[in-house]
Structure formats: C-alpha cells, structure tokens
Amino acid sequence: MARAIWSGSISFGLVNIPVELYSATEDHTVHFNQFQRGTSDRIRYKRVNERTGREVPYEKIVKGHEVSGGEYVVLEPEELDDIAPGRSKTIEIEAFVDLDEIDPIYFQKTYWLGPAKPEFSRPYLLLAQAMKKTNRAGVAMFVMRGKQYLTAVRPDNGVLALETMFFADEIRDPADVLREMPEGRAPRGKELDMAVSLVESMADDWRPKDYRDTYTERVNKLIEDKRKGREIVYEEQAPEATEVVDLMDALERSVQAKKKGRRKKAS
C-alpha cells in the first residue's frame, strides 16, 4: 500500500474533511548512470566551492538569489520556513468553477485525495457526488513541502483528484515563445472541408489503455540486446514535412486510406 505524501483536511463552507494525499501517477522512464567511456568508472557530482575547489557538506549550504550582476541576497532555510504561506494544513476551497472552463494548459500534476479514516467517508463522498452532479471543480490553495500550490479538486470515478496548477503568470504567451507564428488567412473551402473529413474519419473514443510507452520498451530491448550480444536493428525514419502544394492531395489520400481501413475492419 502506498504511503500518503501529505495529510491535512479539505474544507468548503463549514464542512471540514480530514484527508490524505497520494501520487496518482508513476514514472516508468529507464534511468541511467553515467560512466567514463571505455571504463567501468562511475561519474559522480559533488557540491564544490568554486573558489576553493573543496567539497561542501549539505548542511553548510544556503540559498542565494541574484538581484543584480554578481550581487546576491543569501537566505537561510529557517527564513524561508518562517514565511511559508498558509502554515495550516488545509485545502480550503475558495470557489467552485465549471470544470470545462479550465484550460488543460493549467494542469501540472495529479494526486489522489482519500479520507483519512473510514468515519470521514460520508462527507467525502458527499463532496465528490455534489461536484460530479454540477460538473464543478473546487479551486483551492494549499502548502506542501514548503511551496504554495494553486489546485483544482475534482471528482474522478467516485474519488477526489487534486490537480496542482500553474499560476496565470507562469503560462507563456505563444507569441513570446514560437520562433514562427502561423500567418495568413484562415483556411476555408475545399481544403478545410477535406481536413474536417479527415478529422471525422479518424474520430474514435478515448481509450487510454490503447496507448503505451513504446520508446521505453525499445530502450529496454536495446539494453537486453546489447547485454546478450545481439545485432541491433534500427527501425523507421521520421516522416518528411508535407509540401504546401501537395496538401490537398495528401488530405484526399489520407481520407481514402482511412475509409479503406474501416471497410477492411468491417468485413
């Protein structure tokens, strides 16, 4: 059984429900150590004083923030702890918003919330059911591990999920980020109709179990093949970009290919 990474309570109005927080996801990425090529010598990183070249123990390290060229304000860990916002361990819902109005770009990481004890299940389920019926999410702030988070609490198959979210000023404007912004008049006419037909022909239900991390599978296979001295075989190349002059032709052929594929499945 997983261990809770945070415990406290969730409150709305005068209702207060003790809860525990659990990570809802896990990372299956293959992790590597680093070695010097041609040897079995591990590469390790140390915390080194750049002036003396000596290693510094963790307990002697403080944080510094650069305020101007080469000038830093140094902060002790205790100073940061003293100003930690919302020292009470409460997820206090400030408002219930329409879940469909939250742009997915704001979502950061998902956690599960569970009742701390069996006797708290009734108010917990009441909140989950009320939000499901109204399609609402509870917006709240809370503190975990010395950091304040903006969150959305939402119902998910009978339990409560907590989504940590980015603040508005953390979302980048695409115009400030993209090297090339799309230009020109919005497509219309036959090209748009054909693109819509292609989208519709590829429409399907969302079934997350249909998708898996094939890259990690290939990494594991590469490791096993090299361990056993097998021949390494490389697969497909990345597709080339579609030329603008070929766009209509590419759309038409894509739609026809999808139609043929569906007829084969049906037969």
pLDDT in tens, 177-212: 998 888 877 777 887 888 888 888 878 787 878 867
Least confident of 79-93, 94-108, 178-192: 79-93
Please indicate, yes or no, whether residues 145 and 22 belong to a single structural domain of this protein: yes
Q: Which of 93, 204, 200, 207 is nearest to 150 (CA)?
A: 93
Tokens encoding 137: 């999410």
Place of tokens 């037969």: 267
Residues 191, 200: contact at Cβ < 8 Å? Answer: no
Which value, to the nearest 10 degrees, does the dihedral of the CA atoms of residues 142, 145, 149, 155 take?
-70
Whether residue 192 is contained in a domain is answered as yes
Please indicate, yes or no, whether residues 146 and 18 belong to a single structural domain of this protein: yes
Whether residue 51 is contained in a domain is answered as no
Count of domains in the chain?
2
Please indicate, yes or no, whether residues 22 and 134 belong to a single structural domain of this protein: yes
Look up the pTM and report it.
Answer: 0.71
Please indicate, yes or no, whether residues 216 and 123 belong to a single structural domain of this protein: no
Please indicate, yes or no, whether residues 96 and 160 belong to a single structural domain of this protein: yes
Domain assignment of residue 258, given as a range: 186-235+244-266
Please indicate, yes or no, whether residues 129 and 190 belong to a single structural domain of this protein: no
Whether residue 68 is contained in a domain is answered as no
Q: What distance in Å separates the CA atoms of residue 87 and residue 82, rounded to the nearest whole number?
A: 9
Please indicate, yes or no, whether residues 216 and 104 belong to a single structural domain of this protein: no
